[in-house]
Structure 1
Amino acid sequence: MKTALLFPPQWYPSQPYLALPTLKAHLESRGHEVDQFDLNIECYDIFLSREYLERCVEIIRRRHADPSRSIEDQEVRSIYNDILSDSAFLESVLNEVEDAKNVLRDENRFFQFDIYSKAYTNLKIAMQLISYAHHPSRVDLDSFFMQGNPEENLSGILSATEDKIRNPFLLMFDEYLTPKIPWDDYGVVGVSIIHIGQVIPGLTLVRQLRQRYPHLHIVIGGSVFNRHADLLDDKQELFKQFFHSLIVSEGEQPLDQLLCHLKENKPLKTVPNLIYLEGDQVIRNPKSEALPYDQLVCPTFDQLPLEKYLMPYPVLPYMSSRGCYWGKCTFCTHSFIYDSHYRKENEARVAEELDHLSKKYKTKYFTFSDEAISPNAFNRMSAEILKRGVDMRALGMLKFESSEKESPELFDDIYRAGFLMLFFGLESANDRILSIIDKGCDQETERAVLRHSSEAGIWNHLYLFFGFPTEERSEAEDTIQFTIENSEVESGIIHSVGQSIFALEKDSAIYHNPAKFKIDRIIQDPERDMAIVFDYEINTGMPREEVMDVYENFNSVIEKHFPSRQIWNYLSREHFLLYLDHYGKEEILNMASTGVAP
């Protein structure tokens, strides 16, 4: 009995996601026959084609001509007029979309920024055209959104997965992707859903498969439904119409056991971490402890169409640890799927696997997917990479610890090992906010560590947010001032920034103990019982409108103090990694400051 592992749209088109390669490698080591399909990149390849865009134009034409227009169609009538009346512009979009894809795959044109930025803009315009064909839904180069967030309740899911007007994936799967796979060859289909933007596309796919191929056992995994596991008792329709079972937490051992049980026609009650329907009752099997790292195997990217990703070279994801070694940040839920269980790989084996993957797939580019790599692990890993002579260029995530642990010598070794870019969760530069977030650091530490990293030659990217519960305007200003003082045009130890607004997520420490953070009430809307992000009421700190004002004004701060934004704002992190390797940090900064783009 063969198994097909699927990664559905809509996610980034620049590299494979790590879940399928990891599961395939483990299952094959256990004797199972497994194929993997990245339907996300296959979908992009079709979306970004003249033939598909022509179909979208015809959809727009029909919706525009329909005398019984819906309210949504009336809202975009003027835009439909503009699209259909400007035939020259429309023809340029149709003519240039294929070449725009190829620019991002061409190592010569990719590094000519004026050509790259034009191609990227053309791809964004193409995605907008697709979005207008399915208005009011929005399809972008990283996600998919439907009006009303139908993924947040069962009735919305049932409706959205049959909505031929607003859901482009019905046509995509029906006519383009599903016919490509010989489903009769498989007995089990596993689908990984790791992002909200994949919920409706992924469930659209499995609903079609469930209807057309009743012999398949469909199992869902990934972080989204892992967080829904506690509210499935009255969601029997999900098991009846979409999937047969659901695996929570890490999937290697449970999926191996599920395949064995199905092959031997055994009852499912002893498969760990499994949720399934028995009669009309949702059954939750007990969890087992996740496998230790020495029982996991190196991921395999075989069968994935590496040439189709929008990159001139393969950029492979890799993990040297699971969970977060810190695990205390009160807003964070990243370790939830790992049951907050941190463990890491032996650093010598990390270097061995990186060397193997680099040679097998002919690339030196890696993105580390670890929640955060500890300073000690980074130290040992860098030493092993250097000792083995692995030719690698990579990016990774590091937490602020202390200027002693994160010393200049550590960053020198990290840089020499091939890490060109590090991501730091700054969150805030106000010591009180850092304390209630439980970041385990202060502003002085943040500044010292960033200086050490920058002086080693590493590009520092910061994540920060505004509006943490109880945050006052003056405290947000501390973060803004810290960013300015250390920006590209000042001390130069911060090179790029990504800002957001605080979101209260299910399963975070704040969610479970709102009173501790002065939250008066978390709004539990019965019409959004599958929501992951929640609204809340609070009378302390900045009101929502003021938070939005701070956030929007911060954009002008970035534009003024980070000239290189004109470059990195266009580039995904994987693309920017390649630019850093090609040009170097100083050259990118120089070109941006002089107004001469690479």
Structure 2
Amino acid sequence: MTRFANGKSGDKKREEQLFSPGAKTMKLAFIITSPATLKHDWYRDPLYQKVGVPNLAGFLKRAGFPEITQYDFNNQVLKVYKESPGLVKLISYSDRENVRRFLERGDSALEKQTAFLLDTLGIERQDFFGISINHFLGDEGEIALGINLAQCLAKALKQRFPGCVIALGGLQNMSLPFQREAYSRILEECPAFDYAVCGEAHLAMLYICRALEKKKTFASAAPGNFRTVQVGKSLLINEIKGEARAEVTGHYFEPLPPGETRNKSVPFGLPAYDKANSRAYAYTGEELRKFYHLPAGCAKLLAPADKDTFLLLQASFNEGCPFGCYFCAGANTKFFSLGIKESVRMLKRMKEELGCRHFLFYDPNFNPTPGYAKRFLAEIIKAKLDIRWSDCFNLRSLDREMAAMMREAGVIKIIAGVEYPTRRMLKYINKGLSVETIYRNLEELHKAGIWNHVLLITGLPTETETDVAEMEDWIRATKDMVNSYTVGSFHMALGSPFQKQPEKFGFKLGQPLSLYCQDSYDEQNGPGWEEKSRLNLDSNRRIVQLINALKGTPKYTGARMDDSHLLMYLYRTLGHKNKKLIEKLYEAAFTVNPHAERAREGLRLGLEAPGSALRALLARTGLKMELGPAGRETVEFNLKKGGASLRCALQARSENVLLNPAPGRVHGGHFMLESGASSGPARALSAIKKHLGAVLTAAEAWDQKP
């Protein structure tokens, strides 16, 4: 049963029961869930902490809530998965029927797995738990699994710690209407949640905590700038503003309301990283060298950094964008920045308290204006912080002097949106950049020894074959000064000038889409949505394939920030002056999926051992399996039957291949089984494919052996 309210209702009786009697200081905790064990993220590159929860924790600490614990799946759960993968069964949360049964009356397998996760995280009694699912940002299947996981965690927490309060957030990959719909359904299905926060979370979380602290209802603790929906006994909260009562989407910097600052020693905007959690994300140089299998001949050269600590943290100093790119949801948004001296003090504090000398700045543009950027760089240089860092830079606000200052201030990598670097397209999207300026500034950065990562967007409206060919020419011309790429495919972003004024640009908007805050659209005198979607995929694939061919490997289109540990390590050890050597070592670096090796060995032993489960399966189905050579990340084999042959590979899922169903793909707990090249009679091939699920189960049997 759902009813609407206007910020003044809620189930008072229930809320008054949700307190820890006698507690002097309220104890808060955030559980940061993650799908990392379901994808290749966990072994491809060392992970780093995302800034969302630490940012919120800093906001609440400044408001006077000092006891905040952060439980992180990418810490404790991932450690167990690396050594004993059979104990971590996140894929089990993809079965909605089993989850429904667990929520309604119990499911022994999910109950056991959820209890194991809570125990592994070391969760203790708290007054309040916030469950974040903002790492689940992939396809519909991944997000659904994240929701199911959160619901099971909430029920288990309520059973283990009666009286605790639980809130859910993190569906930022959806526009607000889809968020509201999803949260309402989640609360209906799982009454263990007391709250769900839609859109911007800072103030909603503040007043939830104030309500608990003062033993009030949310409505009596919060001002009227919230829209609330009561779902059963739970409350869905959405911040609103202005006379139009517009819903507030998420943002980074949120000042505390007047009178709410209780601890001024916590600077405004400081991300409050958990010290214990941060220690688990720190690596020595020696560990990174071995993780990336860097050439043994370089060990002596790299040895000076063996004992250095590499902890990477995100930090942000501004938000909003003064530029007017037509495709961008952030175009012409209100710009805010911390004071430069305050920002440098924040960096110094994180260095002293957490031991961090390597940062991933998290700004829309470090250089919204040349003056601001140069003053900031000068202060970093003056403070002698000895940090290495990366950030997004706008190539229109850059010159040779700034490139030199960036090098001296410790910039090792820039991320620059060049989008569609052809004359017609740059003008069409109002980029404010010329092809010549892009080339000149990338060249200046390259000469300064800085790693250039560019963002490309294929499939822009009005794209023609000529446009694609011109982009290909640009890629060839700049391949020696551009180090890596993110090749995205255009979508009609909500709030962008394109989307807000579709008639002006010749679009007819269609249905809103559930993911990535976008609309479908048709082009005037152009293709319809379905055809445009297909063409977008084609042009994207074409550009990616060209880059991979020019670079000789797909690794340069496969990472945006994931390679940051490797680059920080190489730049810290070798310095900007040795960029050519850094490029060679980056090229030589590789990582290995240790589970693939174990799975292949399990299959080999199963094929050889009389009476094994694998041999029994093959005998029962009439299949023959031929193992391919060992690989670093995959297990390849042929399945044969009745004159037909099917090439198969076990491999980890990725950001491009997630949990959504697809032909020729079967999902397991650790791998997906993907079938490819085939030959022989269609009927025999069909018979082989019918048994792929059973083959995958047999191939993953090794995971039961910790």
Residue 254 (structure 2) aligns with: 291
- Is the contact made by 2:28 and 2:129 (CA closer than 8 Å) also made in structure 1? yes
Q: Deviations over 1:209-267 (max 9, x none)?
A: 43241623322334617733576269633233443334455544432222112222323
Distance 2:516 2:174 in 1: 13
Between 1:539-548 and 1:407-416, the stretch displaced more is 539-548
Q: Distance in 2 between matches of 1:29 and 1:347?
A: 20
User: Counterpart in 1 of 2:222?
Assistant: 271
Other-structure match for 2:667: none
Identity of aligned residues (%): 18
Match of 2:318 in 1: 321
User: Aligned partners of 2:236 and 2:34: how far apart in 1?
Assistant: 28
Q: 2:342 maps to what in 1?
A: 349
**What is the alpha-carbon distance in structure 2 between the residues aligned to residue 342 and residue 156 of structure 1?**
46
Partner of 1:34: 68
Quote the residue 1:331 is aligned against: 327
1:432 is aligned to 2:432: no
Provide, for residues 509-528 of structure 1, a one-character-per-residue CA deviation record: whole Å limited to 9, x for no partner: 4344444443344245xxx7
TM value normalised by structure 2: 0.60
Match of 2:564 among 573, 577, 584: 573
Among 129, 132, 156, the residue aligned to 1:191: 132
Measure how far apart 1:37 and its partner are. Answer: 1.6
8 A Cα contact 1:421 1:459, kept in partner: yes
Give the distance between the partners of 1:333 and 1:47, measured in 2 at CA: 38
**Displacement, 1:158?**
7.7
State the shift of 1:194 in Å. 5.4
Cα distance change of structure 1 residues 505 and 366 upon mapping to structure 2, 3 Å threshold: same
Matched, 1:389 2:413: no
Q: Matched residue of 2:345: which SS?
A: helix
Check 1:307–1:2 CA distance in 2 against 1; reply closer, same or farther (3 A cut).
Answer: closer
Q: Is the 8 A contact 1:239 1:277 kept in 2?
A: no
Residue equivalent to 1:308:
280
Match of 1:83 in 2: none
The reply on whether 1:176 has 2:117 as its aligned counterpart is: yes
Q: Tell me how far apart the structure 2 counterparts of residues 495 and 529 of structure 1 sit (CA, whole Å).
A: 33
Residue 547 of structure 1, CA deviation: 3.8
Q: CA deviation at 1:441?
A: 1.8
Cα pair distance change 1:567/1:583, threshold 3 Å: farther
Structure 2 equivalent of residue 69 of structure 1: none
| Whole-angstrom CA distance in 1 between matches of 2:99 and 2:423 | 46
- Is the contact made by 2:48 and 2:281 (CA closer than 8 Å) also made in structure 1? yes
* CA displacement, residues 35-55 of structure 1 (integer Å, 9 cap, x when unaligned): 112223333223222x224x6
2:359 is matched with: 366
Letter of the 2:137 counterpart: I
Q: CA deviation at 1:421?
A: 0.6
Structure 2 CA distance for partners of 1:577 and 1:279, relative to 1, 3 Å: closer
User: Shift of the alpha carbon at 1:170?
Assistant: 7.7
2:412 counterpart SS class:
strand
Deviations 1:268-296 (A, max 9, x none): 23636655433669665534896349961
Which 5+ residue runs of structure 1 have no aligned equivalent? 57-129, 138-145
Contact 2:458/2:540 (8 A) holds in 1: yes
Structural mapping, 1:449-528, within 5 Å? 449-488=441-480, 493-524=481-512
1:382 Cα shift? 0.6
Q: 1:44 aligns with which of 74, 78, 81?
A: 78
Distance in 1 between residues matched to 2:328 and 2:102, nearest whole Å:
30
SS at match of 1:460: strand
Work out whether residues 325 and 372 of structure 1, in 8 Å CA contact, stay in contact via their aligned partners in 2.
Answer: no
Determine if contact 2:27/2:126 at 8 Å carries over to the other structure.
yes
Q: Kindly state the Cα deviation for residue 389 of structure 1 after the two structures are TM-superposed.
A: 0.8
The equivalent of 1:206 in structure 2 is: 150
Partners of 1:39 and 1:447 lie apart in 2 by 42
**Compared CA separation, residues 310 and 554, structure 1 to 2 (3 A):** farther
Q: Is the 8 A contact 1:319 1:370 kept in 2?
A: yes
CA deviation after TM superposition for structure 1 residue 371, in Å: 1.6
The CA distance in 2 between the partners of 1:171 and 1:323, in whole Å, is: 45
Matches within 5 A, 1:17-416: 17-32=50-65, 33-49=67-83, 51-53=84-86, 172-177=113-118, 180-191=121-132, 193=134, 195-197=136-138, 199-212=143-156, 213=158, 215-222=163-170, 224=172, 227-229=175-177, 232=180, 236-242=184-190, 243-248=193-198, 250-269=200-219, 271=222, 274=226, 276-278=228-230, 284=238, 286-287=240-241, 291-292=254-255, 296-309=268-281, 311-312=283-284, 313-326=310-323, 328-333=324-329, 340-373=333-366, 374=368, 375-401=370-396, 405-416=397-408
Question: CA–CA distance in 2 between the matches of 1:191 and 1:261?
Answer: 20
The separation in 2 between residues aligned to 1:475 and 1:193, in whole angstroms, is 36
Find the aligned partners of 2:485 and 2:81 in 1 and give their Cα distance: 30
Q: What is the CA-CA distance between 1:34 and the residue it aligns to?
A: 1.6
Task: Report Cα offsets for 1:440-471 as digits up to 9, x if no partner.
Answer: 22222212221222222211110102101111
How far is the alpha carbon of 1:372 from its aligned partner?
1.5
- CA 414–42 in structure 1, closer or farther in 2 if over 3 Å, else same: same
Compared CA separation, residues 230 and 549, structure 1 to 2 (3 A): closer
Matched to 1:184, the amino acid is R
Matched residue SS, 2:326: coil
Matched letter for residue 228 of structure 1: L
- Compute the displacement of 1:157 (Å): 12
Which secondary structure state, in structure 2, belongs to the residue aligned with residue 342 of structure 1? strand
CA deviation after TM superposition for structure 1 residue 333, in Å: 3.6
Partner of 1:121: none
User: Equivalent of 1:6, from 19, 31, 41?
Assistant: 31
Does the 8 Å CA contact 2:574/2:582 hold for their aligned counterparts?
A: no
Amino acid at match of 2:274: D
Give, as a single letter, the amino acid of the residue that structure 2 aligns with 1:573. S
Distance 2:237 2:356 in 1: 44
Q: Alpha carbons of 1:595 and 1:264: their partners in 2 closer, same or farther (altered >3 Å)? A: closer
Structure 1 residues 592 and 440: alpha-carbon distance in aligned structure 2, compared to 1, 3 A threshold: closer
Q: Cα offset for 1:499?
A: 1.3
- 2:32–2:133 CA contact under 8 A, matched in 1: yes
Using the TM superposition, give the Cα deviation of residue 7 of structure 1 relative to its aligned residue in structure 2, in angstroms: 1.6
Q: Any conservation in 2 of the 1:331–1:505 contact (CA below 8 Å)?
A: yes
Residue pair 1:564, 1:593 contacting (<8 A) in 2 also:
no
| Distance of 1:218 and 1:274 partners within structure 2 | 19
Q: Corresponding residue for 1:548?
A: 537
Q: Separation in 2 of the partners of 1:161 and 1:400?
A: 53
Q: Which SS does the other structure have where 1:429 is aligned?
A: coil
Shift of 1:202: 4.1
Structure with higher Rg: it is: 2
**Alpha-carbon distance change, 334 to 481 in structure 1, aligned in 2, over 3 angstroms:** same
Mean CA deviation greater in 579-588 or 251-260: 579-588
SS state of the match for residue 193, structure 1? coil
1:316 and 1:382 mapped to 2: Cα distance?
19
Structure having the larger proportion of residues in strand: 2
Residues of 2 paired with 1:170 and 1:511: CA distance? 45
Q: Tell me if the contact between 1:568 and 1:576 (Cα under 8 Å) persists in the aligned partners.
A: no
Q: Check conservation: 1:22, 1:299, Cα contact below 8 A.
A: yes
Query: Once the 2 structures are TM-superposed, how far is the Cα of residue 378 of structure 1 from its aligned partner?
Result: 2.0
Which SS does the other structure have where 1:557 is aligned?
A: helix
- What is the alpha-carbon distance in structure 1 between the residues aligned to residue 349 and residue 466 of structure 2? 51
Q: CA deviation at 1:397?
A: 0.2
Find the aligned partners of 2:521 and 2:478 in 1 and give their Cα distance. 33
TM-score using structure 1 length: 0.70
Q: Secondary structure of 2:342's partner? A: helix
* Alpha-carbon shift at residue 156 of structure 1 (Å): 10
